[in-house]
Amino acid sequence: MSGPERDAMLAAAAFMRVLREGLDTGLELPEALVRSTRVLPGSARRVLRRLDGRYTEDEWGFDEDFARAVEPLFDFLYDHWWRVHVSGMHNVPGHGRALLAGNHAGILPWDATMMSIAVLREHPLPRYPRFLVLDWAFELPWVSTAIRKVGGVVASPYNALRLLEDDELVAVFPEGVKGTGKPFSERYRLQRFGRGGFVELALRTGAPIVPVAVVGSEEIYPMLGQSSLAARVLRAPYFPLTPTFPWLGPLGAVPLPSKWRIEFCEPIPTAGYGAEAAEDRRLVLELSEQVRATIQQKIYENLVERRSAFV
Amino acid sequence: MPGRRVLITGAGSYIGSALARRLRQDPHVDHVAGLDMRPPADPLERETFIEADLRDPVISTLIPQEEVDTVVHNQIVRRPGPGMSTRTMHDINVIGTLQLLAACERSSSIRTIVIRGSAGIYGSEPQAPQFFREELARLYPLRTRFQRDVGEIENLFDTYARRHPHVVCTMLRYQPAIGPVLDTQVTRYLAAPVAPTYLGFDPRIQVVHEEDGLGALVAAVHRPVQGAVNVASPGTIGLSRMIRLVGRAPLPLAGPVFATATRALRRIGLPELSDDFMRLLRYGRAVDTTRLVHEIGYAPSYTTPSAVEEFAA
């Protein structure tokens, strides 16, 4: 019998022993059960605690226990599936408010997830970034719950403003659905950055903007076409057709193992302009263009350094 | 300086009579009058009790007689009682408010009106901001009957406020209330043996503890502000965590059969769920309480999680 299996058997035996002792000394069954969980390993205790509702969520619904529990999957994707290479982590502030602005691709928000894992693992002062997710995802069962529990919020300026005022690290994707819904042939060409709403938020709260270039996310779901009929039926912003989706059913949602590079670029300070500058259209568009140009240039640099997309 | 004279509608309800009791003990308050269709359980309050129906035009002669400076409108029905049709509920809510405000037009002594309204006006929407501020009331269409009622009440109140700039009109928008004594849709839902939930959804829920609900109402009488103010115990709690904390079992039902299944479950003792409540169970709702804390000056003593924990204990 191998090590972990033996540990599990021993824990189960100890649990039964303490439970019987408890019942023998006249405890009621529920109390005896609670008492005997003491001898279980930490993971089992956590599961039992969750069944009683004894865990914490913050006011945004972020659930750290849950985020930790799913981390092994994300770690696997980060280390072995996508072999993420990260640079420029010193550009991410260790505390206080900041806005990460990245390029968006890949239908499901894997890019946001990998950015979060990068900050958690590579930053000397790790923290969970909060990311803004296209609101359509919040109508979906399971997806909506999972996203909120790992720190996603509805992409609304009111949410971003409140998060920044709470001094959180907030990740946004200014391309929005235009980024994820573009065909494979236009990969790594940044789309229009909306009306620069993210710059307004940064100016209003004085948060520095950290441009983030993500390379690799474009190959995970190469979109060959779209079905406007299916999108209308599902009331989705678009319905992607990739080499595997929807032909393989849920398996089609398994992303391809491309090679990733994430570069955090030099922050653009905004505190010097003052909050009123958020209404200065010229400044907003200038800064927005500056962020876009930085990301686009860093994408090209990282594409060259990556050499091949998959190996 | 003479003390305040306050009229409370819906004085027979739990929160109405609790408010009357609090104000009676207050040295700055000279006179408290209660108005309701049913007399309050507490006999102390009968002396200044007016037994009348808000929908009855006779109140426009009764109310000016009391010469009050403050009116607290507390007769808004959130969930139809036993044997009450949705039509009656609409009448009490909208026609009642209309008659009350008409009576206030006739009474020149009024300086303050406080309405205990509902945060239901924001609705429960998947794309909604995670914390509604007061100015975001009309972001989405009003989808349910109760929401439209609340919308109409707010419209009537806004019109009144515009016509009477010297009267301070405070619209308190209450999140669903919870507490050991209260009987509300949430407490009924949590008291049932199983709690139906939407399969795959675990929304953020926000409640107001009954003590904070009352505290905010008292504070608003003392320090009214113009416009809408959210009332909630700060923070949120996931629906599934709330159900587990009170020791109930969630019963996940798929969205398309939810309404039918919960109606069938009423036969085995599950409470009736209103349209608003069903949307709340699917998408949740939370509000921002900055205005309550900083302008009315009431700091809630519970957070939403601690209010649920206390309810569970």
Q: Where are the domains of chain A?
A: 1-40, 57-220+255-306
Decide: residue A33, CB within 10 A, 0-12 exposed, 13-18 middle, 19+ buried. middle
Question: Directed axis angle between helix A281-306 and helix A197-205, to 10°?
Answer: 110
Q: For residue B79, give the nearest of B237, B275, B210, B255 by alpha carbon.
A: B275
Cis ω before A246 (30° cut-off from 0): yes
Residue A94 to residues A120, A132, A288, B41, Cα–Cα distance (Å): 11, 20, 24, 59
The burial class, CB within 10 Å (0-12 / 13-18 / 19+), for B22 is middle
Q: What is the β-pairing status of strands B237-238 and B204-205?
A: antiparallel
Query: Cβ separation of A154 and B201 shorter than 8 Å?
Result: no
CB A60 to CB B130 under 8 A?
yes
Mode of pairing for the β-strands spanning A240-241 and A225-226: antiparallel
Which of B43, B55, B59, B44 lies closest to B7 in space, CA to CA? B59
Q: How far apart are the first and last CA of chain A?
A: 38
The fold of the A57-220+255-306 domain, in CATH, is: Glycerol-3-phosphate (1)-acyltransferase (3.40.1130)
pLDDT of residue A7: 72
B127 touches chain A (CB under 8 A): yes
A34–chain B nearest CA distance, Å: 14
Instruction: Indicate whether B51 belongs to any domain.
Output: yes
B59 within some domain: yes
**Residue A21, min C-alpha distance to chain B (Å):** 25
Give the type of residue at A203. L
B139 and A CB contact within 8 Å: no
Give me the pLDDT at residue B47, please.
60
Inter-chain CB proximity B128 and A159 less than 8 Å: no
- Determine, for residues A141 and B200 on separate chains, whether the beta-carbon distance falls below 8 Å: yes
B195 in any annotated domain: no
8 Å CB contact of B200 and A145: yes
- Looking at the structure of chain B, the number of domains it has is 1
- Identify which of A56, A140, A162 has the shortest CB distance to residue B131: A162
B158 falls within a domain: yes
Between CA A267 and CA A269 the distance in angstroms is 6
Q: pLDDT tens track of chain A, all 311 residues?
A: 556 677 777 777 777 777 777 777 766 666 666 666 666 666 666 777 777 777 888 999 999 888 988 889 999 999 999 999 999 999 999 889 999 999 987 767 888 899 999 999 999 999 999 999 887 788 888 888 999 999 999 989 999 999 999 999 999 998 877 777 777 888 888 888 878 889 999 999 999 999 999 998 888 887 777 777 877 777 777 777 777 777 777 777 788 888 999 999 999 999 999 999 999 999 999 999 999 999 999 999 999 988 888 87
Tell whether B279 is covered by a domain. Answer: no
B186 lies in some domain:
no
Residues A158, B133: C-beta atoms closer than 8 Å: yes
Helices B275-283, B145-163: inter-axial angle, 10-degree rounding: 100
Q: Which domain covers residue B108, as residue numbers?
A: 4-177+207-232+286-298
A185 contacts A222 by C-beta, under 8 angstroms:
no
| Residue B137 phi, psi dihedral angles, 5° rounding | -65, -35
Cβ count near B247 (within 10 Å) = 10
> What's B172-237 look like in SS3?
EEECCEECCCCCCHHHHHHHCCEEEEECCCCCEECCEEHHHHHHHHHHHHHCCCCEEEEECCCCCE
Q: Is residue B250 part of a domain?
A: no
Model pLDDT for residues B103-150, shown as the tens digit of each residue: 999 888 999 999 999 999 999 999 999 999 999 998 999 999 999 999
CATH number reported for the structural domain that contains residue B23 in this entry? 3.40.50.720
**Percentage of residues in chain B with pLDDT exceeding 90?**
66
